[in-house]
């Protein structure tokens, strides 16, 4: 295990600010989520103040954009601060990032809750929200760039002090993640450059397909941003829970380089059923999307190989002995491990969605919602919640209150998500649409076949809600109980002593970033040129809610 640097209060405070913001976002988002599930299934009469689409927008933005982003920025800063000791480190940049992200979030959230941005978290034009929504979302993104700068700057500091040494693995991974993120978010910033003047009324309309291409250029790498955040934890922290090692340092770095390069040129698989993009480009993007499955295969192998090597070290052999050797009663481990199990469902569902023609069967059905709840809502959310249990004592010096509650939180989340996600997958195959307040459709036969699954999905949502209440209870309990712990050192796993070092070429992250940009430009230049050449009409903005 890597020598752990001591805890520094100034560093801890800025990390805590990010992690607490993520915690508040996930709890609020879950309240909106459970109300939607029940009202959509027709299980409750929603209260009069409940506006389904407004709450759906809030749920999506809080969960997919706010919770995940603040957690990843916070955890990445934590990993950097604790693996690169730096006397007299200033954390002002981390704070500037947090404040920028927070101001953006508050602007967007207030606009959504006041009913001026009921455009869902994909904000498809020509639905036109108030400018404050787009400005807020842009600030949230720009704040992450500030955090990215802090990560790169610290990596640079490490390299100067340790010439010829590879970056510590968590720092390497965080830097690769944020490099990918910057390349990807250029898409949403380009889209905002079209949408912001338009929302102010300075331009008469937008080229709808162009905004969609920009959005999905960003929208799919966004999911890899979440996944990479979870992978950093799986590779570098989870093994410390069972005295394990990183299975292969080189392959771990290779996985992140592949994710850096392959995550961006994939977005058009979200646009398979759209006009304006020809079939051959859609096929090309299917092939590219399949390519990004490879680093996930590598990860699956590495994780299980790490489990097994640790079990063998304890003299345990075979599948069952390996599984039983793992610390299932540790809420951090169980959160991440149940997340990994859900990712098997999420990963294979993703292969279906990425499949050019098969996607037509599931596109915009609730299958897709089932899919991303088995990815971002499962592996990512469970890993982040589990990691929060690990982080809070290390950041506050307080003992975690209610370990049993925390453990059951992860179990209930797994069960609830499995029930909800599977029912959504099934209803989607029967054609039930996503993003709708009701699937009644005047009682037609097709619609009636969807209702039982919707009730089951709502039941799963109910279990998830109990789980999030447990999560909030542990967070609040820890704050109020205020019992001191000495367990504030953060250890990160490394490869077994004496194992081979990764090729030196892996360390040139910015060069790999340049490769990623070239590939993204090559992939998108064809469909982009097609759109630009077509005689596109501008669509005026509209407020249909």
Q: What positions carry a catalytic annotation?
A: 220, 224, 371-373, 434-435
Which of 79, 502 has the CB closer to other proteins?
Answer: 502
Which of 120, 311 has the CB closer to other proteins?
Answer: 120
Do the beta carbons of residue 86 and residue 136 sit within 8 Å?
no
Give the separation between CA 351 and CA 544, rounded to whole angstroms: 34
Give the separation between CA 197 and CA 3, rounded to whole angstroms: 51
Which of 201, 404 has the CB closer to other proteins?
Answer: 201
Which of 507, 530 has the CB closer to other proteins?
Answer: 530
Q: Minimum CB separation from other proteins for residue 442, in Å?
A: 8
Which of 200, 297 has the CB closer to other proteins?
Answer: 297
Q: Minimum CB separation from other proteins for residue 445, in Å?
A: 7
Give the separation between CA 247 and CA 239, rounded to whole angstroms: 9
Do the beta carbons of residue 293 and residue 346 sit within 8 Å?
no
Q: Minimum CB separation from other proteins for residue 125, in Å?
A: 8
Which of 92, 351 has the CB closer to other proteins?
Answer: 351
Q: Minimum CB separation from other proteins for residue 545, in Å?
A: 4
Q: Minimum CB separation from other proteins for residue 526, in Å?
A: 14
Our measurement of the distance from residue 461's CA atom to the centroid of its chain's CA atoms, rounded to an integer in Å, reads 19
- Residue of 75, 83, 79 lying closest to 21 (CA atoms): 75
| Element of type H or E holding 291 | helix 279-291
**Which CA distances in Å does 6 have to 38, 82, 109, 242?**
47, 7, 37, 22
| Element of type H or E holding 390 | helix 381-396
Do the beta carbons of residue 32 and residue 60 sit within 8 Å?
no
Q: Minimum CB separation from other proteins for residue 18, in Å?
A: 31
**Residue located via tokens 């589990």:** 386
- What count of Cα atoms within 13 Å lies in the side-chain half-sphere of residue 57? 25
The pair of three-digit structure tokens given for residue 126, joined into one six-digit string: 């020509």
SS3 of residue 84 by DSSP: coil
Q: What is the DSSP string of 434-484?
A: SS-S---GGG-HHHHTTHHHHHHHHHHHHHHHHHHHHHHHHHHHHHHH--B
Phi, psi for 542 (deg, rounded to 5): -150, 150
Give the separation between CA 153 and CA 178, rounded to whole angstroms: 12
Which of 197, 433 has the CB closer to other proteins?
Answer: 433
Do the beta carbons of residue 405 and residue 470 sit within 8 Å?
yes
- Residue of 378, 387, 382 lying closest to 19 (CA atoms): 387
Q: Minimum CB separation from other proteins for residue 398, in Å?
A: 41
Which of 395, 439 has the CB closer to other proteins?
Answer: 439
The DSSP 8-state label assigned to residue 127 in this structure reads B
Task: Report the 10 Å Cβ neighbour count for 274.
Answer: 15
Q: Minimum CB separation from other proteins for residue 8, in Å?
A: 35
**Which CA distances in Å does 144 have to 120, 158, 384?**
21, 21, 18
Q: Minimum CB separation from other proteins for residue 427, in Å?
A: 11
Which of 280, 485 has the CB closer to other proteins?
Answer: 280
Q: What is the DSSP string of 477-495?
A: HHHHH--B-S--------B
Which of 58, 139 has the CB closer to other proteins?
Answer: 58
Q: What is the DSSP string of 334-369?
A: HHHHHHHHHHHHHHHHHHHHHSTTTHHHHTTBHHHH
Our measurement of the distance from residue 201's CA atom to the centroid of its chain's CA atoms, rounded to an integer in Å, reads 33
Nearby residues of 85 by Cβ (< 8 Å), 6 or more positions away: 5, 6
Q: Minimum CB separation from other proteins for residue 45, in Å?
A: 15
């Amino acid at each position: 295990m890597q020598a752990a640097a001591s805890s520094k209060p100034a560093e801890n405070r800025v990390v805590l600010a990010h992690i607490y913001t993520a915690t508040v976002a996930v709890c609020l988002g879950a309240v909106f989520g459970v109300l939607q599930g029940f009202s959509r299934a027709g299980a409750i009469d929603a209260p009069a103040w409940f506006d389904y689409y407004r709450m759906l927008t809030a749920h999506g933005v809080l969960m997919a954009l706010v919770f995940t982003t603040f957690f990843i920025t916070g955890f990445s800063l934590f990993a950097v601060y604790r693996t690169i000791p730096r006397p007299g480190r200033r954390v002002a940049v981390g704070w500037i990032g947090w404040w920028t992200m927070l101001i953006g979030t508050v602007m967007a959230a207030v606009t959504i809750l006041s009913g001026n941005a009921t455009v869902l978290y994909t904000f498809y034009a020509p639905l036109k929200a108030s400018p404050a929504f787009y400005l807020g979302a842009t600030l949230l993104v720009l704040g992450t760039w500030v955090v990215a700068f802090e990560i790169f700057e610290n990596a640079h500091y490490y390299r100067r002090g340790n010439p010829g040494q590879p970056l510590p693995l968590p720092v390497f991974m965080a830097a690769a993640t944020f490099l990918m993120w910057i390349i990807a978010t250029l898409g949403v910033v380009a889209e905002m450059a079209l949408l912001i003047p338009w929302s102010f009324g300075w331009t008469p309309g937008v080229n709808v397909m162009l905004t969609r291409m920009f959005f999905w250029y960003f929208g799919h790498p966004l999911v890899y941003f979440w996944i990479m955040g979870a992978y950093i934890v799986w590779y570098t922290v989870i093994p410390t829970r069972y005295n394990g090692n990183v299975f292969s340092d080189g392959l771990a770095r290779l996985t992140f380089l592949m994710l850096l390069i392959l995550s961006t040129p994939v977005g058009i698989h979200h646009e398979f059923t759209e006009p304006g993009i020809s079939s051959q480009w859609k096929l090309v993007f299917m092939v590219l999307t399949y390519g990004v499955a490879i680093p996930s295969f590598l990860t699956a192998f590495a994780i299980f190989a790490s489990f097994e090597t640790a079990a063998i070290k304890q003299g345990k052999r075979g599948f069952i002995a390996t599984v039983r050797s793992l610390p299932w009663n540790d809420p951090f481990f169980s959160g991440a491990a149940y997340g990994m199990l859900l990712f098997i469902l999420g990963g294979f569902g993703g292969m279906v969605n990425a499949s050019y023609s098969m996607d037509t069967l599931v596109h915009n059905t609730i299958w897709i919602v089932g899919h991303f709840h088995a990815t971002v809502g499962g592996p990512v959310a469970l890993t982040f919640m589990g990691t929060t249990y690990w982080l809070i004592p290390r950041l506050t010096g307080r003992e975690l209150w209610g370990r049993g509650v925390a453990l059951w939180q992860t179990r209930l989340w797994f069960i609830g998500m499995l029930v909800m996600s599977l029912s959504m997958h099934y209803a989607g195959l029967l054609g039930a649409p996503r993003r709708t307040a009701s699937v009644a459709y005047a009682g037609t036969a097709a619609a009636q076949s969807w209702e039982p699954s919707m009730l089951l999905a709502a039941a799963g949502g109910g279990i998830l809600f109990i789980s999030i209440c447990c999560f909030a209870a542990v967070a609040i309990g820890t704050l109020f109980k205020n019992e001191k712990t000495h367990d504030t050192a953060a250890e990160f796993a490394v490869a077994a002593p004496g194992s081979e070092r990764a090729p030196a070429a892996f360390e040139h992250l910015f060069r790999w970033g340049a490769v990623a940009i070239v590939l993204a430009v090559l992939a998108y230049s064809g469909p982009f040129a097609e759109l630009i050449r077509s005689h596109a009409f501008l669509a005026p903005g509209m407020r249909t809610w």
